[in-house]
Amino acid sequence: MTTFKDMIGREDVDDLEAILSVSNTDVDQVMHTVASQTDALFTWDYERTRPALVKLYEKAKTSQWNAETDLDWSIDVDQEKVVVENALANPNGFLQSPDFDLSGTPFAKWGDKEWIQLGIESQNWTLSQFLHGEQGALICTARVVETVPWIDAKYYGATQVMDEARHVEVFAKYLDTKLSGHYPINAHLRTLLDDIIADPRWDMTYLGMQIMVEGLALAAFGFMHQLTTEPLLKKLLRYVMSDEARHVAFGVLSLKEFYDGLDASEIRERQEFAFEAAVRMRDRFLQQEVWDRMGLDVKAVLGLVMQDEGRKLFQSMLFSKIVPNCKKLGLLDAGDAWLRTRFTELGVIQFEDWADTGEEYLELDEVAKDREAATA
C-alpha cells in the first residue's frame, strides 16, 4: 500500500517543516531538463469516431485569438493603484478580516506602505507562476499529441499546443511590460510538472495536466478575474479562461472512455496521482517566495496564513473544477472511495456536485461572445 510519505514526502499534509523543505535551489537556472521514456505513437486509423472530440476540435478552430491584436496593450497599469483599488473592492482580503487578530505577529506594525508592497509582490508572484504553469501545459500538450492513440484527440491536442503557446506569450508580456518583477518557478509546482512529464503513460499526462493543473488554473483565473479591477488583466483572463475550459473538457472526454477499461489497481494509481497533484498545488499557493522577499520569517508567517479563513476559502475554491471532474471520471468513489476520503480531509469534497467541465466550455467562450457583439 502506498503511504502518504511515498506520495507527497510527508505523513501530515499540513507539516510546515516538510512543506518548506521543498525549495527551489536553482533560482538562476535558465534551462531545466526532465528525462522521459515516452514512446511516440502513430495511428493509421483516421476514421472520426468520437463526436464529442470532433465538436471540441471545431470549437477550438473558431475560438483562436491573437494576443497582440485582441488585447489593448496601450492600457497603462499603475501597479500600486491597482493594489489599492483591489483592496477597496475586496475589503475582507488576505489577513484583513476584522476577526483576525494580528497583534504580536510580524504584521502588527505594518502600515499602508507594507501592505501595498505585499500586494505588488503577490501580483508579480501569481502571474509568474501562471507563466511557468502555462509553459508546463505547452510541453505536456505537445506530449499528448505525440502519445494519445486516437486521431480525434491528436487533432484537438494540436489546437491546445497553439493555445498554450499564446498563454505563455501573453503572461510573459504582461509581466514584462505591466508589472515590476518576475519570480522563479515555485518548487512544488516544478516537482509536479516534472512528475507529469516524466511519467511515460499518456493518460497520466492527461490526468496531471488536463484535469488537475488546468482544472486548478481555470478556477484560479476565474477567482482573479472576479477580484481584479485592472481592465487589461480582466480581459486577458477572460480569453485564457475560454481556452482553459476547452482544455479541461478535452481531458474529461478522453479519460472517461479510457478509465472505463482499467482494473482496480490501475484506477488506484490514478487516484493517488490525483491526490499528490492536489497537495502539491495547494502547497504552491502558500507563496513562500513572497514572504521571503518581504524579509519575513516564512515558517512563522505560514502558520498565520494557514489559519486565515479567507485563505482557506481561496484554497478550497481552487478545487471547484477538479473535484466534479474527478467524480465524472469515476475516481472519487472507485474501489474503497479512497480519493473521496482524501478530498474530504483536504476540505474540498463539497464541490463534488458542481458542474463538471464536459460542456462548460460553451458557456465560457468569451471570444465568440466578443465577436458576436462586434458584428451585432
CATH of domain 89-94+109-375: 1.20.1260.10
6-28, pLDDT tens digit by residue?
888 888 888 888 888 888 777 77
Task: Check residue 304 and give its pLDDT.
Answer: 84
Mean pLDDT of 357-371: 71
With cell 505513437, the residue in question is 41
Put simply, whether the predicted model's pTM sits higher than 0.95 gets the answer: no
Cα separation, 141 vs 138, whole angstroms: 5
Quick one: angle between helices 231-259 and 151-178, nearest 10?
Answer: 160
Domain definitions of the chain by residue range: 89-94+109-375
Cα separation, 333 vs 318, whole angstroms: 21
124-180, pLDDT tens digit by residue?
999 999 999 999 999 999 999 999 999 999 999 999 999 999 999 999 999 999 999
* Band of pLDDT at residue 1, cut at 50, 70 and 90: low
252-301, pLDDT tens digit by residue?
999 988 999 999 999 999 999 999 999 998 888 889 999 999 999 998 88
With cell 499518456, the residue in question is 202
- Judging by beta carbons within 10 Å of its beta carbon (0-12, 13-18, 19+), is residue 61 exposed, middle or buried? exposed
Task: Check residue 98 and give its pLDDT.
Answer: 64
Share of the chain above pLDDT 70, in %: 95
Cα separation, 284 vs 306, whole angstroms: 13
Task: Check residue 324 and give its pLDDT.
Answer: 93
Task: Check residue 314 and give its pLDDT.
Answer: 78
Contact 318, 279 (CB under 8 A): no
Contact 146, 43 (CB under 8 A): no
Share of the chain above pLDDT 90, in %: 66
Mean pLDDT of the chain: 90
